[in-house]
Amino acid sequence: MKPTRRDLVAGSGALLAASTLSVPALLGQSRPRVVVVGGGPGGATAAKYLARDSQGGISVTLVEENETYQTCFHSNLYIGGFKRYDEIVHRYDTLASTYGIAIVRSRATQVDRDKSEVVLSDGRRLPYDRLVLSPGIDLNYDSVPGWSQAAEEMMPHGWKPGRQTQLIREKLDAVPDGGTIVMIAPPNPYRCPPGPYERASMFAHVLKETGRAKARIIILDPKESFSKQGVFMPDWERRYGAMIEWLGPKVHDGITSVDPKTGTVVTGFETYANCAFVNVIPAQMAGAIARDAGLAPADGYCTIDPATMKSVVDPTIVVLGDACQAGDMPKSAFSANSQAKVAAMILRGELVGAPTFPARYINTCWSMVDTDDAIKVGGRYEPRDGRIAAVETFISQPGESAEIRRQTQAENLAWYDAICADMFT
């Protein structure tokens, strides 16, 4: 079959799928190779845009250890009963069949920067001309005294997808009326700045809906203030009365320890014994593969060039999403997706001579407060003075009309559909 121009332009699924097998034979080894580690909003988006827009001109390999991608974004909607679990699970099949991306289901254990190779857990090595790392976060299990990886079943974090998300919902369901939930919020910088507070809203929503309005949710925060605080706090009061109590560091005087066996949390000020459920959201850092490659400090994030998303340590490696330090951009799926598009444009310029343009980034974080009630914060960003800086920002206001809040929630749902389509189809 002779491909028509239209097939080439449109990236016909069948053609590209076939070409995954035959292109090396057709073109020899001359196709530049990009290896992407991590199939989340950073990695999946980068892989798709590189493959789609180079129309087969770049060989793209996506290394992902999990068979499916389960989103942390909208996991709070699952916890709140607004989505089924299967609605936040996505597959990589279309990336392979439509765009000819080679999906390698494996864990990358090492980046051999001297040889420009990624080493997989089974010992295989993948050579690259450019490497894209978007491994997300690792949790710092030592950041809360008394808590550990062994305790993450008893005191779940729910800050990584899958079983942890489901555990949060199970523990919530078991809280008795009058019971106490303690959430330990994380220090900056962490994945999804408004996430803990959206989650607390969902806890209150579920408890209220199920006749447990006497339960209390106590948020112990190491931060003096938090994302969208000026909107969340009056909304909690209005929606949930006294159910949610937020305590900053001056009030609780620090977390002294937790005891997972007895469900106890001790602060400088008070002991919360017999908690019905303790949600520990610990400090975070870049995923191991990026730290081990020497691209970030031991417990930190990777510094990038704001114009290209390339590591300042190694210009053959791009670091996207939660694993990088992106200036004014929060760690969000939206940010990772936006950064991936800039990186794909830059890499296509370098590898196949495609036109390049100045970097520009965008983000919006929606948070649900209650049924048909969401708030948002966001902005546009550009490189300025060596960092990614906000050039336009907006935020929801307290006391907005029910109609605006309903519209904001409709946007939130539509955004989820769009970004998942953008990543996976």
Ligand X SMILES: Cc1cc2nc3c(=O)[nH]c(=O)nc-3n(C[C@H](O)[C@H](O)[C@H](O)COP(=O)(O)OP(=O)(O)OC[C@H]3O[C@@H](n4cnc5c(N)ncnc54)[C@H](O)[C@@H]3O)c2cc1C
Interface positions with ligand X (CB under 6 A): 37-43, 63-66, 69, 72-73, 75-76, 107-108, 134-136, 159, 191-192, 195, 199, 287, 289, 321-323, 331-334, 336, 365-366
C-alpha span between 326 and 322 (Å, rounded): 9
Q: Does 30 bind another protein (CB under 8 A)?
A: no
Sign, CA torsion 166/169/175/181? positive
C-alpha span between 131 and 335 (Å, rounded): 19
C-alpha span between 404 and 396 (Å, rounded): 9
Q: Does 382 bind ligand HEC (CB under 6 A)?
A: no
9-28 residues in contact with another protein (CB under 8 A) are 9-13
Q: Does 413 bind another protein (CB under 8 A)?
A: yes
C-alpha span between 118 and 102 (Å, rounded): 15
DSSP, residue by residue, 252-283? H--EEEEETTTTEEEESS-EE-S-SEEEE---
In the structure, how many helices (H) and strands (E) does the chain have? 12, 24
Return the one option of ligand HEC, another protein, ligand X, none that residue 135 interacts with (CB less than 5 to 8 A, by type).
ligand X
Site track 250-289 with ligand HEC (rule: CB under 6 A), x = hit: ----------------------------------------
Minimum CB separation of residue 43 from another protein in Å reads 15
> For residues 15 and 206, which CB has a smaller minimum distance to ligand X in the complex?
206
Return the one option of ligand HEC, ligand X, another protein, none that residue 99 interacts with (CB less than 5 to 8 A, by type).
none
Site track 43-72 with another protein (rule: CB under 8 A), x = hit: ------x---x-------------------
> 33-37 and 59-64: which strand pairing?
parallel
Minimum CB separation of residue 211 from ligand HEC in Å reads 36
By CB under 8 A, which span of 24-32, 192-200, 278-286, 412-420 interacts with another protein?
412-420
Return the one option of ligand HEC, ligand X, another protein, none that residue 325 interacts with (CB less than 5 to 8 A, by type).
none
Identity (one letter) of the amino acid at 237? E
| CA-based R_g, the chain, Å | 22
Burial annotation 380-393 (CB, 10 A radius, 16+ → b, else e): ebbbeeebbbbeee
- In eight-state DSSP terms, residue 120 is E
Binds ligand HEC (CB under 6 A): choice among 362, 389, 395, 404 = 362
> 302-303 and 324-325: which strand pairing?
parallel
Binds another protein (CB under 8 A): choice among 33, 83, 360, 387 = 360
- In eight-state DSSP terms, residue 31 is S
- Residue 258 neighbours by CB distance under 10 Å: 26
Backbone angles phi, psi at 64, to 5 degrees: -145, 130
Q: Does 390 bind ligand HEC (CB under 6 A)?
A: no
- Residue 304 neighbours by CB distance under 10 Å: 26
By CB under 8 A, which span of 5-13, 21-29, 157-165, 280-288 interacts with another protein?
5-13
Backbone angles phi, psi at 304, to 5 degrees: -125, 160
Minimum CB separation of residue 44 from ligand X in Å reads 7
What is the end-to-end Cα distance of the chain in Å, rounded? 25
Q: Is the separation of the CB atoms in 104 and 35 below 8 Å?
A: no
Return the one option of ligand X, ligand HEC, another protein, none that residue 107 interacts with (CB less than 5 to 8 A, by type).
ligand X
Binding site for another protein (CB under 8 A): 6, 9-13, 49, 53, 98, 334, 337-338, 341, 345, 354-355, 357, 360, 362, 364, 376, 378-380, 391-394, 407, 409-415, 417-419, 421-422, 425
Binding site for ligand HEC (CB under 6 A): 362, 364, 411, 415
